């Protein structure tokens, strides 16, 4: 991966490049940022640059012996750890090296732009499984790192999604970070630094990879998918700063798996649960809808919930009289007015929490059908909370 293949992030790239020139590469760094930021791409470009045999002022050469191996992720001094679980192919004691073939394939075919869910799908992990970074896996790589480098200046370990380490693997990593082998670069990647042991955090240099702004996403959508600037702008808005969501929506022809009108209909059913006249009908509708949602696939379910959070925010803005900030039209705009009695300071954060928690649970492979049924009844409870007296 070359730095020039990564769109934007110039200040950060320059800082990393300078650290190589000035010979002050910190041996362990934690790249953190939300889903859809090019953390892995930046780590790969950085590692390649550190080891390039004829690097230029601003980038790797791309053609030296080291770069050629890096281009295929096949350098003997480049190691990876990522979350794994048992699958059909690997039915016991899964380790990262058992999955190196699909890993290389996914990184290369996506330009290192993929989510944890994409990874689970790639290795054919069952929805009921939990992927982790286990202690045996971490231990084996750590032992390899203690050996001398085969040919590179720097041995590199890229540890993707550090938050998936269990306690014993985190302790192994900690030990090696405390007494790092010479000329070894640890690049840790996470979407959630809050879940990482403070002892690990304190031994790494933190590198923040901020979410992309809408303008950057729109520009990339124009470049990559040839979209008009207005269409790219519309999709960028829907993506909420997540480049992966933007790509997914662009590939699906600009349509989300479930639309705002599905959300509005769903809330209407939920509201009817509280009426004696429509109660039975509404229950049936909730079950049917949950079955439909469960067939959308995890990525679509996640973006549906993100969209739901956005709609709740718009309703709240509407209620606060900030209708100019509600970027909706037609039936959706009308919804924010109609629904505004039901979103207020007494329950707005509860809607968010429920939707966010469901989003997280989908990522953790929860049973989507049960999740949406449960979420429906919980939302009904939140909807009934009376607005605090003015």
CA distances from 252 to 36, 255, 258, 272 (A): 17, 6, 12, 32
Between 56 and 223, whose beta carbon lies closer to Zn ion? 56
- Of the candidates 168, 157, 129, the one whose C-alpha atom is nearest the C-alpha of residue 363 is 129
Between 45 and 354, whose beta carbon lies closer to Zn ion? 45
Query: CA-based angle 4:7:11, to the nearest 5?
Result: 80
CA distances from 373 to 264, 266, 271, 291 (A): 16, 11, 14, 9
- Kindly state the smallest distance separating residue 183's Cβ from Zn ion, in Å: 18
- Kindly state the smallest distance separating residue 68's Cβ from Zn ion, in Å: 8
Residues in binding contact with Zn ion, number by CB under 5 A: 5
How far is 334 from 345, CA to CA, in rounded Å?
21
Query: CA-based angle 157:192:234, to the nearest 5?
Result: 110
CA atoms within 13 A on the CB side of 236: 20
- Kindly state the smallest distance separating residue 254's Cβ from Zn ion, in Å: 39
Is residue 60 at the binding interface for Zn ion, with CB under 5 A as the rule?
yes
Between 67 and 187, whose beta carbon lies closer to Zn ion? 67
Q: Which of 20, 25, 61, 174 binds Zn ion (CB under 5 A)?
A: 61
Residues between 63 and 82 that touch Zn ion (CB under 5 A): 64, 67
How far is 301 from 262, CA to CA, in rounded Å?
12
Between 44 and 133, whose beta carbon lies closer to Zn ion? 44
- Kindly state the smallest distance separating residue 19's Cβ from Zn ion, in Å: 18
- Kindly state the smallest distance separating residue 67's Cβ from Zn ion, in Å: 3
Between 60 and 347, whose beta carbon lies closer to Zn ion? 60
- Kindly state the smallest distance separating residue 185's Cβ from Zn ion, in Å: 16
Residues between 18 and 57 that touch Zn ion (CB under 5 A): 52
Q: Distance of alpha carbon 12 from its chain centroid, rounded?
A: 20
- Kindly state the smallest distance separating residue 95's Cβ from Zn ion, in Å: 30
Contact 250, 221 (CB under 8 A): yes
- Kindly state the smallest distance separating residue 69's Cβ from Zn ion, in Å: 10
- Kindly state the smallest distance separating residue 103's Cβ from Zn ion, in Å: 22
Q: Distance of alpha carbon 348 from its chain centroid, rounded?
A: 24
Other beta carbons less than 10 A from residue 21's beta carbon:
10
Residues between 165 and 184 that touch Zn ion (CB under 5 A): none
- Kindly state the smallest distance separating residue 55's Cβ from Zn ion, in Å: 6
Contact 380, 347 (CB under 8 A): no
Between 63 and 101, whose beta carbon lies closer to Zn ion? 63
Between 32 and 70, whose beta carbon lies closer to Zn ion? 70
How far is 164 from 150, CA to CA, in rounded Å?
29
Between 53 and 320, whose beta carbon lies closer to Zn ion? 53
DSSP summary character for residue 29: E
**Candidate ranges 62-70, 133-141, 218-226, 287-295; the one touching Zn ion (CB under 5 A):** 62-70
Contact 178, 203 (CB under 8 A): yes
CA distances from 160 to 41, 103, 190 (A): 11, 11, 7
Between 51 and 184, whose beta carbon lies closer to Zn ion? 51
Between 67 and 371, whose beta carbon lies closer to Zn ion? 67
What six digits make up the tokens of 185? 């670069």
Give DSSP secondary structure letters for 175-223. HHHHSPPTTEEEEEEES-GGGS-HHHHTTSEEEE-PPPPHHHHHHHHHH
Binding residues for Zn ion, rule: CB under 5 A, are 52, 60-61, 64, 67
């Amino acid at each position: 991966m070359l730095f020039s293949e990564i769109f934007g992030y110039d200040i950060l790239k320059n800082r990393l490049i300078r650290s190589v020139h000035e010979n002050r590469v910190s041996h362990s760094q934690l790249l953190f940022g939300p889903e859809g930021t090019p953390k892995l791409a930046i780590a790969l470009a950085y590692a390649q640059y550190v080891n390039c045999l004829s690097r230029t002022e601003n980038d790797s050469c791309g053609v030296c012996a080291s770069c050629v191996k890096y281009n295929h992720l096949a350098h003997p001094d480049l190691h990876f750890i990522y979350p794994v679980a048992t699958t059909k192919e690997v039915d016991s004691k899964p380790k990262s090296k058992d999955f190196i073939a699909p890993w290389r394939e996914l990184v290369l075919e996506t330009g290192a732009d993929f989510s944890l869910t994409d990874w689970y799908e790639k290795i054919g992990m069952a929805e009921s499984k939990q992927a982790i970074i286990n202690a045996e896996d971490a231990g084996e790589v750590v032992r390899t790192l203690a050996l001398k480098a085969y040919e590179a200046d720097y041995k590199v370990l890229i540890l993707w999604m550090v938050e998936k380490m269990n306690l014993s693997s985190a302790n192994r990593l900690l030990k090696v970070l405390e007494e790092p082998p010479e000329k070894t670069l640890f690049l840790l990647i996470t979407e959630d630094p809050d879940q990482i042991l403070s002892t690990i955090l304190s031994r790494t240099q933190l590198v923040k990879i901020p979410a992309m702004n809408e303008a950057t996403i729109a520009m990339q959508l124009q470049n990559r998918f040839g979209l008009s600037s207005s269409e790219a702008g519309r999709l960028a808005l829907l993506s909420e700063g997540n480049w992966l969501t933007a790509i997914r929506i662009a590939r699906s022809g600009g349509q989300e798996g479930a639309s705002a009108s599905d959300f509005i209909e769903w809330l209407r059913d939920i509201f009817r649960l509280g009426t004696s006249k429509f109660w039975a009908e509404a229950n049936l509708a909730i079950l049917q809808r949950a079955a439909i949602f469960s067939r959308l696939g995890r990525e679509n379910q996640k973006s549906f919930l993100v969209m739901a959070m956005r709609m709740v925010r718009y309703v709240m803005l509407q209620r606060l009289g900030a209708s100019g900030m509600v970027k909706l039209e037609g039936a959706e705009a009308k919804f924010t007015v109609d629904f505004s009695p039901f979103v207020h300071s007494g329950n707005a954060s509860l809607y968010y929490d429920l939707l966010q928690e469901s989003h997280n649970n989908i990522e953790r492979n929860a049973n989507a059908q049960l999740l949406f049924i449960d979420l429906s009844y919980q939302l009904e409870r939140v909807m009934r909370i009376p607005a605090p007296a003015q």
